[in-house]
Structure 1
Amino acid sequence: MKKALISIDYTIDFVADDGKLTAGQPAQAIADKIAAVTQEAYDRGDYIFFAIDGHDEGDDFHPETKLFPPHNIKGTNGRHLYGKLAQVYENIKDDARVFWMDKRHYSAFSGTDLDIRLRERRVDTVVLTGVLTDICVLHTAIDAYNLGYQIEVVAPAVASLTPENHDFALAHFKHVLGATVIED
């Protein structure tokens, strides 16, 4: 079994108090865990994918512009990784097992070559971390399920805007997608 950790949208715009579309305290509370899980995956020899939302300034055609304020605009600090995860990334980014992927939609698979890269490396299990549990992490998990990957979600390394949304997504991962939800 080969694994790849997919770190989703843990950026300043989604996490920091002054982020453009912040989950705030719930996302900040996972800072230590998401960094530790990422470092542990790297140390084990897993592949690491940073799947990061990237929007163009003034892109009025993107469907999210009707739902959310502008966020994760390319070339802004809002797209930088938040907290300790930024430090982990700086230490590992030059390794051939580490990838940065721009994404335009909720799912890390939508419009990217993530599936191709995983299959080239014979990865059969994806480990998901990041924000928001019920949006980008959930949509990535659904696509992973539909593509035949085994799914693990590290519950203390994902966060959402509300506890209800978070709990809904964790139950969906487990009961609908057959994912393993790691609780520690």
Structure 2
Amino acid sequence: MTKALLIIDYTNDFVASNGALTCGTSAQKIESTIVRLADQFLEADDYVLLPTDTHQPNDQFHPEHKLFPEHNLVGSWGHELYGKLASWYTTHQESKRVWQFAKNRYSAFQNTNLDNYLRERGITELWLTGVCTDICVLHTAIYAYNLNYKLTVPEVGVATFTPQGQEWALAHFKDCLGATVIPVN
């Protein structure tokens, strides 16, 4: 069965200590897990997808404009993939099994071609990693659940701003979306 690893919003603005909307240390701690999973998925002839939050400067019509400071502006340092994942992507970006794409809402499915991409390739199982567990990862999971995808969330592959948000989202994945949550080893 072909499956896909989604690495959601793992960018400088969300992960680096000086990012515009950073989760900080909690996001930095999952870096090795994400890169290790990306390698494992490619070695198994599965897919690695990088839905990336993408905004235009001064977009007063985007709903996040009123909620958060500007972040992940197209072409900026903050929009670039973080750390070891940036290097991994540079090495593998020509693979037909690696796809980075822009998203402009919390869910990686909203306003994108993700569902068609997955269905064309017969992918029915998604592993969700990245940030923020209780925002973009959560909304992607809900959308995927409603489209009947099987979900797996490695607990050490997702991070967010607060321990409470992390705990709540992990429970929601398992209890309300039927996801397999892989606990910390």
Partner of 2:106: 106
Using the size of structure 1 for normalisation, the TM-score is 0.98
- The separation in 1 between residues aligned to 2:182 and 2:86, in whole angstroms, is 23
Q: CA deviation at 1:48?
A: 1.1
Letter in 1 for 2:177: L
- The separation in 2 between residues aligned to 1:31 and 1:130, in whole angstroms, is 9
Partner SS for 1:49? strand
Partner of 1:50: 50
Matches within 5 A, 1:83-122: 83-122=83-122
Partner of 1:123: 123
Q: CA deviation at 1:128?
A: 0.4
Partner of 1:73: 73
Partner SS for 1:176? helix
Alpha-carbon deviations, 1:1-60, whole Å to 9, x = none?
Answer: 220111100000000011000001111111111111111111111111100000001111
Q: CA deviation at 1:86?
A: 1.2
Partner of 1:168: 168
- The separation in 1 between residues aligned to 2:67 and 2:173, in whole angstroms, is 24
Identity of aligned residues (%): 51
- The separation in 2 between residues aligned to 1:42 and 1:13, in whole angstroms, is 26
Letter in 2 for 1:80: E
How many residue pairs get matched?
184
Using the size of structure 2 for normalisation, the TM-score is 0.97
**Hey, which bits of structure 1, 4+ residues long, moved more than 3 A?**
none
- The separation in 2 between residues aligned to 1:158 and 1:42, in whole angstroms, is 20
Matched, 1:31 2:36: no
Partner of 2:20: 20
Partner of 2:59: 59
- The separation in 2 between residues aligned to 1:87 and 1:43, in whole angstroms, is 17
Aligned-residue RMSD, C-alpha: 0.8
Letter in 1 for 2:110: S
Q: CA deviation at 1:64?
A: 0.3
- Farther off after superposition, 53-62 or 36-45: 36-45
- The separation in 1 between residues aligned to 2:64 and 2:177, in whole angstroms, is 25
